[in-house]
């Protein structure tokens, strides 16, 4: 299967929206290119004394509405095309919810699971130094993303503050409470997903109590989304992480699954569950499907077989909702 290019995908989405909106061609052209994309070389001393060079990116798509805003991810599959696409999508997201930010995104090509705590910190600090010229309060405010946490945000803030000779908590969000972070920031993404599910269910006439939910991914966003959707009365029947997917149509306890993952390194093997493939997970019959993993998971082929509307038949889905 050919790998989907996220940047080309983002450009196609923009072109489609521009056509519907009858957007001025000049405005379309401006929005089709990031304002700036920085590529940085990151030499890091490893624990065994070797010097290893990593590559990092920071894409600043658009700041018409305010400072660039967007996370930093650590992943082996990070590419400049992915980071550019994510920064464009951040522009749309900030605009849709009417917050005074533009879109930005960062990433480093690495496997954080193979890095020690010390190696990861040295990599983070080197990256912070390398992108320091383009970030800052009122300019570009990064945040956590895939495989980054408040710890990395604190390290970025520390480097930036040292370089400017004073504390600069406004350079980053998602940092720990003890250094000026926001309460509930760690649950915000997942909680926001649960609110969207709740409001969509109202719109569609779907009763959440007893509704079957499939959640792809089991990181920060997915685990809290599962927890809050479960509290609304729905039943989580399948989840996944980078090592595999599991299903139990009778229901899974989201908190117990997380405890198992934290202890064993994966959701796979959770008692009473069956291991399935990613495609099987995404096409499991359910009422609600929550894709909370990396982008481009629902390919055209998988989309044809997604079966998450049975509980909504007869409601307000448009006639072409399965297309």
Of 69, 84, 105, 261, the active-site residue reads 105
Residue 57: partners with Cβ closer than 8 Å, 6 or more residues away: 37, 38, 39, 40, 78, 80, 83, 106, 107, 108
211-266 residue pLDDT tens? 999 999 888 889 999 999 999 999 999 999 989 999 999 999 999 999 999 999 99
> Which one, of 237, 222, 228, lies nearest residue 195 by Cα?
228
The domain of 64 spans 32-179
| In-domain check, residue 317 | no
Q: Report the 10 Å Cβ neighbour count for 38.
A: 18
156 shares its domain with 198: no
Total of domains in the chain: 2
Residue 99: partners with Cβ closer than 8 Å, 6 or more residues away: 66, 69
DSSP-assigned beta bridge partners for residue 235: 212
196 shares its domain with 304: yes
State the CATH number of the domain containing residue 128.
3.40.50.10860
Stated pTM of the model: 0.81
Q: Is 105 considered catalytic here? A: yes
**pLDDT over 50 (residue 317):** no
Q: What is the CA radius of gyration of the chain?
A: 21
| In-domain check, residue 17 | no
Residue 200: partners with Cβ closer than 8 Å, 6 or more residues away: 206
266-316 residue pLDDT tens? 999 999 999 999 889 899 999 999 998 877 677 788 888 888 864 433 333
| In-domain check, residue 96 | yes
237 shares its domain with 160: no
State the CATH number of the domain containing residue 207.
3.40.50.720
Distance CA 37, CA 57 (A): 7
């Amino acid at each position: 299967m050919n790998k989907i290019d996220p940047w080309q995908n983002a450009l196609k989405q923009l072109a489609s929206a521009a056509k519907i909106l009858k957007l001025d061609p000049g405005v379309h052209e401006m929005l089709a290119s990031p304002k700036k994309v920085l590529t940085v070389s990151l030499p890091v001393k490893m624990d065994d004394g070797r010097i290893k060079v990593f590559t990092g990116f920071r894409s600043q798509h658009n700041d018409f509405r305010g400072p660039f805003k967007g996370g930093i991810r650590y992943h082996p599959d990070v590419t400049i095309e992915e980071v550019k696409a994510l920064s464009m999508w951040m522009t749309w997201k900030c605009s849709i919810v009417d917050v005074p930010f533009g879109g930005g995104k960062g990433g480093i090509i690495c496997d954080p699971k193979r890095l020690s705590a010390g190696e990861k910190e040295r990599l983070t600090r080197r990256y912070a130094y390398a992108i320091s010229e383009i970030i800052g309060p009122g300019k570009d405010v990064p945040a956590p993303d895939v495989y980054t946490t408040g710890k990395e945000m604190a390290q970025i803030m520390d480097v930036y503050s040292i370089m400017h000779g004073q504390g600069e908590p406004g350079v980053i969000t998602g940092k720990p409470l003890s250094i000026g972070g926001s309460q509930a920031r760690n649950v915000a993404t997942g909680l926001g997903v649960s609110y969207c599910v709740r409001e969509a269910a109202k719109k569609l006439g779907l009763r959440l109590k007893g509704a079957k939910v499939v959640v792809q991914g089991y990181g920060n966003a997915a685990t809290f989304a599962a927890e809050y959707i479960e509290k609304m009365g729905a039943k989580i029947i399948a989840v996944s992480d980078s090592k595999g997917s599991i299903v139990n149509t009778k229901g899974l306890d989201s908190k117990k699954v997380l405890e198992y993952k934290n202890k064993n390194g994966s959701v796979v093997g959770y008692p009473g569950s069956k291991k399935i493939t990613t495609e099987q997970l995404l096409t499991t019959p359910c009422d609600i499907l929550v894709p909370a993993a990396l982008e481009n998971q629902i390919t055209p082929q998988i989309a044809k077989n997604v079966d998450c509307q049975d509980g909504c038949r007869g409601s307000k889905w448009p006639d072409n909702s399965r297309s």
